Structures are given as structure tokens and as C-alpha cells.
Amino acid sequence: MTKAYLIHGTSTRDDDWFPWLEQAAAPTIQLDRLWLPEPFNPQRDAWNAAVDDQIKPTDGLILVAHSLGCITALRFIERHQIKDARLLLVGAFDQGLPTYPELDVFMQPAPDYGQIAPKVSKATVIAAKNDPIAPYKNSIQVAHHIHAKLIVQETGGHFLTSDGFTQFPLALKELQRLAK
């Protein structure tokens, strides 16, 4: 059985498509949905500490991340000596959002892709052109920095329940690809 971890952003571990993905990936992939403190008032250091407490840095690590969880996953890779990391990033961004200036402090410092990219062996970034939260062009930049497969959909919003995402077969397909 392959182990993977899900780092969500500004939602709870039981929201959106996260429980569905955990069930759909089983039994081949054991997906652990992480607990993050104060998901609606994220603090960078608290989130980093929570992730460090729940994930042992190992070679071949698979991280699935959504929204603000994406930069948290990138920072985890940056902080640890890991080889062959595999990433599935959904609605990724690595800079402040004009509509959410309260996240500006969380977004600093910017990820050091010079430290991250060499540790990543496989990655996929999924974005939607109509994402009202994270501009899809930022997801394109993140994908470029980590040499990821990029999937840009015309629609999908920010891939939340309110956007119709209680199930996410594309995420499952990409997770299975990363686990091979």
C-alpha cells in the first residue's frame, strides 16, 4: 500500500472532495487528511509545525494539496531533505491574493524553488481558468517552477463543494499516476 498525505487550505479536513478522495484511493493508496489549526485563520508557523508533526519526511513522499495547502506542501519539501517527492497541487498559488490581503503575511517568504524543484520527481498542478480565489496564471507559474504536468480546465472554480466538487475523479487519476 502506498501512503500519501492531503494538506487542505482554508477548509476543514472533512470538507469538499477530500473524504471522497481518501475513500476512492483506498485500498491501493492510504491518504491521510491532515489536521491544521485554525483553517479559517491560517498562521504560517502553526501550519508548518502541524504538518511537521503529522508527516515523517521520507523519500518518495506523496503530498496532495489544495489552495493554501499548496504553499504549505511546497514549504514542507523545502524544509526537509527528501528525494523523489511527488506532488498533486490543486488551485495552487505562491503569492498574495488581491481579494484576500489578510493572507499576505502567510505567503511570505516566497518558496525557494531552487531548494524545492530538485527534490520533486513527479508533480501535477490542476487549475481552472474561472477560479475566483487563486488566479490560474499563478498555478501555471508554480507548475513551471517545479516542472509539473499542468492541467488547466476552463471551469472548476476553486474546486470546492460550492463549485460542485464533492468528488474529483481527475485528482484521483493524477494521484494514482503519481503513486506508480
Measured CA to CA in angstroms, residue 137 lies from 76, 89, 91, 151, 180 at distances of 23, 14, 10, 12, 28
- Alpha-carbon span 43 to 103, nearest angstrom: 9
Residue 124 — φ and ψ, nearest 5°?
A: -135, 135
Residue 125 pairs in a beta bridge with 89, 150
Residue whose C-alpha is closest to residue 134's, from 70, 59, 52, 47: 70
Measured CA to CA in angstroms, residue 102 lies from 9, 12, 71, 99 at distances of 14, 19, 16, 9
* Helical (H) or strand (E) element with 115: helix 113-116
* Helical (H) or strand (E) element with 85: strand 85-90
Chain CA centroid to CA 22, Å: 15
Q: Which residues are catalytic?
A: 67, 131, 158
